Structure 1
């Protein structure tokens, strides 16, 4: 029964990933990309990453060569071992999203949780303009 459940999870994950723009596959690399919204104000850039069920403390967010990198992993709850599965639509496993940022300098990268999303706040160091 466990092997059947794992097989079903794998099949559902492959099908659902098609709607979540798969990134890179295999060898521990990211297998899906979460959807994002990017909003810029006069003082900061806000990135809202759809990650329901992921603790913001277990998601990395950092700037690398002018690109915001958000990555981590969503894992199935332990209850799955004894549960009867009716539907699995949320993608599981390693995720990574790389986002080009508006030109400028940023003082820090802050993470918080807002309504099931990871909110990444990037404070502008130079007060820069709009995109």
Structure 2
């Protein structure tokens, strides 16, 4: 008869969850190979829905409003643009964790017609409000 230590099992589960979270972070935030012509990162998005509207909050740190293009095409909304790498001058770069380069994020929408009624870039986030049409 073997005795099973529950703390070992909990520790193993915790490590597995941390590994999964790190994998998701790499998928969303790490740069893909430059030079492929495609986007190098995907910004994270929060989506909220009411009976009449769909609200999206897209994290775009350091991206100017004129560098962002938003397109609704069929059942998908696409947010794309570019974040330039900051020019540190003569400073040595010790860490670059905020992604830069071309980005694109596609979000599938529920069936229906949508109109962008609010578009605001504030505090490093793009706020979009889409009005639902029947």
Structure 2 contact 58–127 (Cα < 8 Å) conserved: yes
Aligned-pair CA distance for 1:76: 1.4
TM-score normalised by the chain length of structure 1: 0.72
> Which whole-Å CA distance do the structure 2 matches of 1:106 and 1:28 have between them?
30
For structure 2, the 5+ residue unaligned runs are: 1-24
For structure 1, the 5+ residue unaligned runs are: 1-15, 127-131
CA RMSD of aligned residues (A): 2.4
Aligned-pair CA distance for 1:25: 6.3
TM-score normalised by the chain length of structure 2: 0.70
1:6-54 C-alpha deviation (Å, 9 max, x unpaired): xxxxxxxxxx854427679643211111110011112211111111111
Residues 1:37 and 1:23: Cα distance change in structure 2 (over 3 Å): farther
Q: Which residue of 2 aligns with 1:105?
A: 113
Determine which structure has greater relative contact order: mean sequence separation of CA pairs < 8 Å that are 6+ residues apart, divided by chain length: 1
- Rg comparison, structure with higher value: 2
> Which whole-Å CA distance do the structure 1 matches of 2:33 and 2:106 have between them?
12
Tell me whether 1:45 sits opposite 2:85 in the alignment: no
